[in-house]
A and B are shown apart, each in its own frame.
Chain A
Amino acid sequence: MQVSMTVNGVAQSHDVEPRTLLVQFLRESCGLTGTKVGCDTSSCGACTVLLASGHDGQRPESVKSCTMFAAQADGGAITTIEGLAAADGTLHPVQQAFHEHHGLQCGFCTAGMVLAAVSLIDENPNLTERDVRLGLEGNLCRCTGYHNIVEAVLAASESAS
C-alpha cells in the first residue's frame, strides 16, 4: 500500500506492506536510521519520534514508532532526531543540554530520549525533577543511570521557559 507523510519537512511516499511499522518506514523506506529499535514490546522508547497528525493546530506528540503502523501516520508530519537540529547545524536546545550535561554515553537510547524530552518540555514548561523522572518513564537508558539526563532536561526546560 502507498503511505505518505511529511518527515522532517520532506514529503515521503512509499509503497510498503500493510504490516510495516512506522519505525520500519522511517528507517528502511526513508533511510532515516537515527530512530532505533531496542525492544519488541514498546518498552524501551528508543524508537520515539514526534508526530503531528494532519489536523490543524495540533501540536506534535511523542509516539513510539514501533507501536504503530506506518499507515496510521499517513498524512501526518513526523520529526525524527535527524530533523531536530537547525539547518545550519546548531543543535536543538535539548540536544545541546544533553551534550553539556553528559546526558548520553553509548547514544543508542538518545534519539528517543531527546524527542521524548522535547515533547515533555513542550507539554509542561515548568518541570520539576519528579515530573521529568515520571515523564521519561517510557524511555530506558542502560548507561547513564538517568542522573545527567534529568539534569539536562531540567536545564533545557529552564532555558525554554
Chain B
Amino acid sequence: MTATVETIAGQPTIGTRVLRREDPALLTGEARFTDDLVIHGALHLQVVRSPIAHGSIRAIDVAGARAVAGVVDVVVGADLRALLAAPLPCAWAVTDDMVQPEHWPLAIDEVRYVGDGVAVVVAETREAAQDGAERVVVDYDPLPVVTDLEAALAGGTFVHPDLGTNRSYTWELIPDPAAVDAAFAQAAHTVHERYWQQRLIPMAMEPRAVAVVPAPFGGDVTMYSATQVPHFLKIFMAIVTGIPEHRIRVIAPAVGGGFGSKLNIYAEEAICLALARKLGRPVRWNEERSENSQATIQGRGMIQEIELAADTEGTVTAVRARLLADMGAYLQLVTPGIPLLGAFLYHGVYDIPNYSFSCTSVFTNRTPTDAYRGAGRPEATYAIERAMDALAAKLSVDPAELRRRNYIRKDQFPYDSPAGLVFDSGDYEGALDQALDRSGYAKLRREQQARRDEGATKLMGVGISTFVEMCGLAPSRVLASLNYAGGGWESATVRVLPTGKVQVVTGTAPHGQAHETCWSMIAADVLQVPLDDIEVLHSDTAIAPHGLDTYGSRSLAVGGTAIHLASERVIAKARLIAAHQLECADTDLEYVGGEFRVRGTPARALAIQAIAFEAFSAHNLPEGIEPTLEATTTWDPPNFTFPFGVHIAVVEVDIETGGVELVRYVAVDDCGNRVNPLVVEGQVHGGIAQGVAQALWEEAVYDDDGQLKTTTLVDYLVPSAAELPSFELGSTVTPSPTNPLGVKGIGEAGTIASTPAVVNAVVDALAHLGVRDITMPATPQRVWAAIQEATR
C-alpha cells in the first residue's frame, strides 16, 4: 500500500515513497502536450508518404493540392533539400568503413520504405492539409524489394542501388579467437541456437508532434517537439537547417512516453523548421497513429545465433554470438549502435571466460530501426537466457541450478568481464534465492508435474530469466572508443533564490519518469530544505542550456548525481558565507536541519535561506566570494552502472488451442539504492508489460512486398489490462560504487528481463512434449504448430 509521505526539512527523503508532483497537472488535463499548445496563426503540415516499399519517383503532380482552398504551400524533396544545409544525422558511425546512405527528410528520386515522405502540404487548417495531401499525385516506378535479412546480405536486390551493397557494417569483439575455438573443441556439451528478434513498434501513447514558431524579424525560432532529446535536437537542427544554434530554442512540453522512439532527429522536425522559416509563420505537425507505425523508428529486428560450450558439470566455458541486424532503409540517429549496446552482454550474468561477438547489419526496405526500451540489451539477455535454458534441457539440470553454477559470484566484484567491461557490483545468487522463494519455485514444479501426470490440457510452465544490463549511459571516453559522436555526461544547476526557495535545473528530459519529484528529493536531502520549496526546471534549452537528455536508464545515475554534487557545492559556498557572518572558522560549523550551527554553541546559527539572501544582497560577503548562491556541475560517470535481477514467469498453455496466459510474474530487481521506491516499482511494472508483449503479442509484420500489415492498434497488439496479471515485486539493494548516490537505473530492467522469462516459461510448459523453441511472439498459432510438430 502506498501512503502520503510527510516530509520534514532535514529528514532524508531518499528511500521514501514520495508521491509525484507531476500528477496534479496530468490528472486534471492542465498539462500541455505539444498538440495541446495554442499557437495563433499556425499552419498545419501533412506528409504525403510512399505507399510502396521501393520505387523511383517519376513525377509528382502537386497542382491538385495547390488548388485546395486553404493550402499555402506544397513542397517536394528537391525543393526541401534546397532549404537545408545537411541531411538527417546519424551520430554513430560504429566502424570507419560503415556504409551510410544520405538521408534527406523527403525522398528525392527514390522511396525506400512504406511511409517514406515524398511531399508535404502546408495549409491553414488540418483538414485542408489532409485534403491537399490526398490530391498530390505521385507517379512511381516500382523497384525490387528486399525485406528478408539474409536475402539482403546476399545482395542482388539493393535498398540503395547506388551503394551496390546492403551491408552497412560488420563489428566484432573477439578478444582471443583461438581461446574461443579451443573452448568449443574441448567442450563436453555445446548448444547452438538461432533466435529471431521480431521488429517492434514502440507505440508511445502520445504520437509525435512538432510545432515551430519563427520570429521572422527578431531572427529566433522556437521549436516545440514531443521529444526525449531537446538538447540533441537543438544541435542537429542547427546542422541540418543551417540556422545558427544560438538562434534556436527547443522546448519539450509534456511528453507522452518515448521508450526510445522519441530519441531521434526526425524528418518532420527539420521540415517544420525549414518551412516555418520559409513561410515566416508557425508550422505544426501532428502524427497520426498509422503514421507513427510507419514513420517513427521501430525496435529490435535481428537474427541471433548463439553457441555455448560447457564442461561435463555444465560450467559454461565459452560463448559465441553472431547477429544479423536490420537497419531498415536508412540510418537514423543511433541506429547502427543499437545492436552493439548488447555486444558486451552476451555472456549475461555468467562468468564465461571466452567471448566472441560479431554483428553484421543490413539495409532492408522497411522503416528504420533504432532505440527501443532496452536497446540491444534485451536482445542480448534473450539470447543468453534462452540458450542457458537450452543447455539446462540438454543436461537435464534444473534451469535455476544451471544458472547458479555459472553466476559471477558476489566476491568477484568489481568484475572484469570477458568483453572488457568492469561490472560495478552485484549479488546474483541473492536475487535468485529471493525470486525462487517468492515464487514458491519447488511448489510450482510439483504442480507442473501433477498437471502433466493427470493429462491436463492446460499445462504450466515456469520460466526464469536473470539479467544484468549496462546503463547509466555513459562515460564519455568509452563512448569515444565506440565511435559515438557525443559524450555521456549530464549537467545540473542548483540555485537558492533570494527568498530561500530553490531551483534545480537539469539537462535530463523526462517523459513519464518523475524527474521533478525525484530530483527535488536529491536536492532536498543535501540542502535540507522542504521538498515543496524546490522546483525542477527541464526540457527547455533556454532554461537548461546544457544537457544530454533522457534514454538508456541514464537520468538518475548521471543526471541525479550531477544534482547531488551541485547541491553539495551550494552548501560548500554557503558554509563560507555562514562562517564569515558568524565570525568563526568554516570548520567550526556543522550543517544540521537546514542551518549552519557553530559547534558547541548551537544558538549561533544561520539558516540556508538567510544565507541565500546574504548572497543575493551581497552586502557582507567574505573576500573573494561572488554574489548569488548557486552552483553548476557536469558529471561524467567513470563507468556504466550494472543493474541486475531475477524474474520468474508462470504461464498456462492450453495445448488444444495454443493459447498462453501469463498467470504469475515475480520480479526481483536490484537497481542499487532506490531514491523513490514508488517510482522504481512503476518503472518495473511498465517494463515488464512491454517485455511480456514482445514475448507473446507484438510484432511489426511486413509482407514480402514490404507492406506493414500492423499499422494500427487494432492489428498491433499492445496489451490491455485484461491480458496481464498483477506483478509480484521483490528487491535486493547492492549500491553502485560508481556514483555517490549508489544508484544504478531501472527504466529498462523490466523489459530486458521479462521477454526471455516468458518464452522460457512457454517452452518449459511444453518441454516434455519435445518442444525446444517457439519463435516470438508466441501466438496461439505458433504454439499450437510447435506442439503439433513436436508430437507428430
A residues contacting B by CB (< 8 A) are 17, 19, 27, 31-41, 43-44, 46, 80-82, 84-85, 91, 95, 98-102, 104-111, 114, 129, 132-134, 136-151
Contacts and interface: CB of A to CB of B under 8 A. Distances in A.
B29 A34 contact: yes
Which residue of B36, B127, B682 has the most chain A CB atoms within 10 A of its CB atom?
Answer: B682
A130 to B, nearest CB: 9
B209 to A, nearest CB: 10
A143 to B, nearest CB: 5
A104 B254 CA distance: 13
Given A36-B33, A136-B720, A145-B727, A41 B713 contact: yes
B713 A43 contact: yes
B561 to A, nearest CB: 22
Contacts of B23: 98-99, 104, 107
A95 B27 contact: yes
A20 to B, nearest CB: 9
Contacts of B687: 145
B289 A39 contact: yes
Interface of B: 2-4, 19-20, 22-33, 35-36, 38, 127, 203-207, 254-257, 259, 288-290, 511-514, 678-679, 681-682, 685-690, 712-714, 718, 720-722, 724, 726-727, 750
B255 A101 contact: no
A95 B750 CA distance: 26
A150 B724 CA distance: 11
Nearest to B22: A107
Contact of B205 (A35, A38, A91): A38
A110 B27 CA distance: 6
Contacts, number: 182
B512 A44 contact: no
Nearest to B729: A147
Given A39-B712, A99-B19, A149-B721, A81 B29 contact: yes
B206 A108 contact: yes
A142 B289 contact: no
A106 to B, nearest CB: 3
B721 A136 contact: yes
A95 B25 CA distance: 11
A41 B714 contact: yes
Given A91-B24, A98-B27, A137 B721 contact: yes
B685 A107 contact: no
Nearest to B712: A41
B32 A33 contact: yes
A10 to B, nearest CB: 14
Given A39-B289, A99-B20, A142-B259, A107 B31 contact: yes
Contacts of A44: 205, 289, 713
Contacts of B290: 40
B205 A142 contact: yes
A141 to B, nearest CB: 7
Contacts of A136: 720-722
Contact of B686 (A41, A105, A107): A105
B36 A33 contact: yes
Given A84-B28, A106-B511, A142-B690, A133 B713 contact: no
Which residue of A32, A40, A91, A104 has the most chain B CB atoms within 10 A of its CB atom?
Answer: A40
A46 B718 CA distance: 14
Given A33-B33, A106-B255, 5 more contacts: A40-B289, A99-B23, A106-B206, A108-B257, A137-B720
A95 B29 CA distance: 11
Which residue of B26, B38, B290, B721 has the most chain A CB atoms within 10 A of its CB atom?
Answer: B721
Contacts of A150: 721, 726
Nearest to A110: B26
8 contacts: A85-B28, A105-B513, A107-B31, A110-B26, A134-B722, A139-B720, A139-B721, A141-B205
B378 to A, nearest CB: 16
Contacts of B2: 100-102
A140 B718 contact: yes
Nearest to A147: B685
B42 to A, nearest CB: 12
Given A43-B714, A107-B256, A138 B720 contact: yes
5 smallest beta-carbon distances between A and B, as pairs: A34-B29, A107-B26, A108-B256, A106-B512, A145-B689
